[in-house]
A = this chain, B = another copy of it.
Amino acid sequence: MAFVGPIARLVQQLGKLPGIGEKTAARLAFHILRAPAEDAAALAASIAEVKQKIRFCGTCCDLTDRDPCAICADARRDDGLICVVAQPQDVVAVERAGGFRGRYHVLHGLLSPLDGIGPDDLRVAELVRRCTGAIQEVILATSPSVEGEATAVYLAKLVRPLGVKTTRIATGVPMGGELEYADQVTLARAIDGRREI
């Protein structure tokens, strides 16, 4: 579109965000223009704040505003158990699910040879370093996608020789899902992973 000056610059900057095309960027820009000045200032300030304050936790590699992060600093959590996830959002998802009281390790990505992402691009070395000592079990909680599976298999091969038990989260029909609509692979995995009740 033919916006000019400050509006064009804002539309351009918003358009760099993922999933935000030019039309959505224009809609967001005009919303910001109409919004109260405090709201726009708060948005700009919070963008600056995350870039300034957020860094990696030296232990679990999660994003945090203090090092060690709140979970690593929590003395009540189980030091023997590490849940390995691909990204910081996954830590939030597992925490929300409740029940898990161990530690985390954030890889910041998944192995993807086609995209040129190898072990050195992920926080794999940091995980291996943690696997000496009190760690008894590493739960590989990457998504059951091609990259997630490949990453889990790779990590299992790396961690198991260190004498640490490695487990993989279960794959199966999701709660509330219908057998009828489950895909073949999911259903085969669900039958494969059946448990006594």
Residues of A at under 8 Å CB distance from B? 1-7, 9-10, 12-14, 16-20, 24, 26-33, 35, 37, 39-51, 53-54, 63-65, 70, 87-89, 92-93, 95-96
Interchain CB contact under 8 A, A6 and B49: yes
- Among A9, A20, A51, A54, the one with the most B-chain Cβ atoms within 10 Å of its Cβ is A51
Task: State A70–B3 Cα separation when bound (angstroms).
Answer: 11
Q: A53 and B5 in contact (CB under 8 A), knowing A13-B42, A48-B44?
A: yes
Q: What's the nearest-Cβ distance from chain B to residue A131, in Å?
A: 26
Pick 16 A–B contacts, CB within 8 A, sort by A.
A1-B93, A6-B54, A6-B65, A7-B50, A10-B47, A12-B46, A16-B43, A17-B28, A17-B32, A26-B89, A26-B92, A27-B89, A33-B54, A37-B51, A40-B47, A44-B47
User: Nearest CB to that of A45 among chain B residues?
Assistant: B44
Residues of B within 8 A of A51 (CB): 32-33, 37, 40-41
Is there contact, CB below 8 Å, between A30 and B65?
no
Residue of B nearest to A18 (CB): B31
* Known contacts A6-B49, A13-B46, then 17 further A-B pairs from the complex at CB < 8 Å, ordered by chain A residue: A1-B93, A5-B64, A6-B46, A7-B54, A7-B65, A10-B49, A17-B28, A17-B31, A18-B28, A19-B24, A32-B47, A33-B54, A33-B63, A40-B47, A43-B44, A44-B44, A47-B47
Contact, CB under 8 Å: B3 / A92: yes
How far, in Å, is A67 (CB) from chain B's closest CB? 13
